[in-house]
Structure 1
Amino acid sequence: MTESSTTDAAASTELESRYGAPRRSVPVKSQRWMIIGALILAFGALVYVTVGNTVGQLTHNDVGYTITSDTEASVDFEVSKDLDATVQCMVHVLDNSYAVVGSRVVTIGPQEGSNPADRSEYYRTDVRTESRGVTGVVDSCWDVD
């Protein structure tokens, strides 16, 4: 053994005792399989969260409104719910200062269908008002059960 290799070995031993043994790198093939596994798990979690949140969720969207007269308005809206659920929605007609000038609770019963696309339906309701409204909205919807 030469003097330089002895010095290198001593320096290496000294560094290992001070900082620990050098890390071994993970083989490229193992890294690739770990990345593929992580991507599969992430995709599975995404599908689980997406499907889990849409099943049984109650949503409503304003579609439109018609101001019929100074004392009446029609409000069009869409409700997505479970097919066998009964829900109620609070519909408001507002004036230009966003004050409620008319409101109505609409009850929506179970509906027919078996596809997930059948969960959504459009509705129109007439609302009596105290004064002329300028817009109609669905404030909220809730399960009656």
Structure 2
Amino acid sequence: MVAAPLLDSSSGCAWTHMRRSRSDTWDPSYGGGRAYPRMDPDILSSATDPRLRARMPLPRPAPGTTRWWVIGVLGCVSAVVVIVWWGIVSTTGSVRPEVTGYRVESASEVLVKYDLHRPEGVAVRCRVSALDSSKARVGTVEDAVPAAGPTSLRREVRVRTSVRAVTGVVDSCTRVPTTP
């Protein structure tokens, strides 16, 4: 069974229809029997005449719908406010690692470099892994970062691997709970 191709306006179907139907815009005086829009002087002058433009006011909402327009605008504004608030709250004070590089040292070791951004005075534990060509984890190390120190710091971690790795990643970084 062979499927027929789908026809759309780019296939020429619509143009063929326009050529066969003698529409209001048809004017055979334009060479070759092609269909072109008729340039009516009255139509052109209405677009450029300021007196005619001034007589055509913008359409207004239907009577009785003002309340729904106000509710819709307030709903949209409140949704934007909630989205911005959620974005700020969810990223403020978070722990974010960024892998800046890795180097395969040998068939059994990978050096992973990453930047860690954290709030001041927060101890962090990061899990750094090495992956092989099929993205299987072939080595993992826990990197404990003490609470003392700057909020943004660069770390270098060596990961021992069971087979040759092709990349190094930071799987996760979590806050270490402090005991009072």
TM range (shorter): 0.5 to 0.7
After TM superposition, the structure 1 stretch with the greater mean CA deviation from structure 2, 30-39 or 92-101, is 30-39
- Deviation for aligned residue 1:33: 4.3
CA deviation string 1:100-126 (max 9, x = no partner): 3332111123343xxxxx5x5442212
Instruction: Return the offset for 1:91.
Output: 0.9
TM, length-normalised to structure 2: 0.52
Distance 1:39 1:99 in 2: 45
Higher strand share: 1
Q: Percent identity?
A: 28
Aligned-residue RMSD, C-alpha: 2.7
Q: How many residues align?
A: 115
Structural mapping, 1:80-91, within 5 Å: 80-91=117-128
Which residue of 116, 138, 145 maps to 2:170? 138
1:87 CA displacement = 0.8
Take 1:105 and 1:133, find their aligned partners in 2: how far apart are those partners?
A: 17
Cα drift, residue 31 of structure 1: 5.4
One-letter code aligned to 2:112: V
Aligned residue for 2:87, secondary structure, equals helix
Map 1:1-145 onto structure 2 (within 5 A).
25-26=63-64, 28=66, 33-110=70-147, 111-112=149-150, 120-145=152-177
Q: Which moved more, 1:46-55 or 1:90-99?
A: 90-99
Post-superposition offset of 1:55: 1.6
1-structure distance, mates of 2:68, 2:136: 61
Partners of 2:75 and 2:172 lie apart in 1 by 40
* Structure 2 SS opposite 1:92: strand
Q: Deviations over 1:48-70 (max 9, x none)?
A: 11111112323333332100122
Structure 2 gap ranges (5+): 1-61
User: Match for 2:158: what amino acid?
Assistant: D
Task: Please say which of residues 96-105 and 46-55 is displaced more in the overlay.
Answer: 96-105
Please report the TM-score for the alignment, with normalisation by the length of structure 1.
0.62
1:92 is displaced (CA, Å) by 1.2
Distance change in 2, residues 1:137/1:36 (3 Å): same
User: Relative to structure 1, is the Cα distance of residues 39 and 127 closer, same or farther in structure 2, using a 3 angstrom cutoff?
Assistant: same
Q: Which amino acid aligns with 1:143?
A: R
Question: Which residue in the other structure is 2:35 paired with?
Answer: none
**CA 1:27–1:130: 2 relative to 1, 3 Å:** closer
Quick one: higher RCO (CA 8 Å, sep 6+), 1 or 2?
1
Structure 1 spans left out of the alignment, 5+ residues: 1-23, 113-117
The whole-number CA distance in structure 2 between the counterparts of 1:87 and 1:132 is: 28
Q: Distance in 2 between matches of 1:86 and 1:142?
A: 9
